[in-house]
Chain A
Amino acid sequence: MTSDTVIEIAGIPILLRSHDSVFEPAVRKYYADFITPVASVAPVELTVEVDASGFPDPETVGAGGAVPVVDVAWTGDRWRLERFDFRGEWSPGTGRGQVCLAQPQALQSIDSVLRILHSILAVPPGGCLVHAASAVRNGSAFVFPGVSGAGKSTLSGLIPSDATLLTDEISYVRQAEGGYRAFGTPFAGNLGAPGKNVSAPLKAVYLLNKGPRNKIDPLSRKEAATALLRNVLFFAKDPELIRTVFETVCRLVASVPVYRLTFLPTPEVWEIIA
Chain B
Amino acid sequence: MSIYIARSPAVSARSLDGEMIIMSTKDSKLFTLNEVATEIWQAADGRTPLSRIVQDVVCAKFEAEPEAAYADAEDLCRRLAEHGILVISDQPLESAR
Q: Which residues of A contact B (CB under 8 A)?
A: 220-222, 225-226, 229-230, 234, 237, 239-240, 242-243, 246-247, 250, 253
Contacts and interface: CB of A to CB of B under 8 A. Distances in A.
B32 interface: yes
A62 B22 CA distance: 33
B12 A222 contact: no
A230 B27 contact: no
Contacts of B3: none
Contacts of A225: 14, 16, 21
A234 B24 CA distance: 12
Given A226-B32, A242-B25, A253-B16, 17 more contacts: A220-B16, A221-B16, A222-B16, A222-B19, A225-B14, A225-B16, A226-B21, A229-B30, A239-B25, A239-B26, A242-B24, A242-B28, A243-B25, A246-B12, A246-B23, A247-B12, A250-B14
24 contacts: A221-B16, A222-B17, A222-B19, A222-B21, A222-B32, A225-B14, A225-B16, A226-B32, A229-B23, A229-B30, A230-B30, A237-B27, A237-B28, A239-B26, A240-B25, A242-B24, A242-B28, A243-B12, A243-B25, A246-B12, A246-B14, A246-B23, A247-B14, A250-B14
Interface in B10-55: 10, 12, 14, 16-17, 19, 21, 23-28, 30, 32
Interface of B: 10, 12, 14, 16-17, 19, 21, 23-28, 30, 32
**Chain A interface, >50% SS class:** helix
Contacts of B21: 222, 225-226, 229, 250
A226 B12 contact: no
Nearest to A220: B17
A220 B32 CA distance: 13
Contacts of A226: 21, 30, 32
Nearest to B10: A239
Contacts of B19: 222
Contacts of B27: 237
Contacts of B24: 242
B10 A250 contact: no
A250 B28 CA distance: 15
A132 to B, nearest CB: 17
Nearest to A254: B16
B75 to A, nearest CB: 23
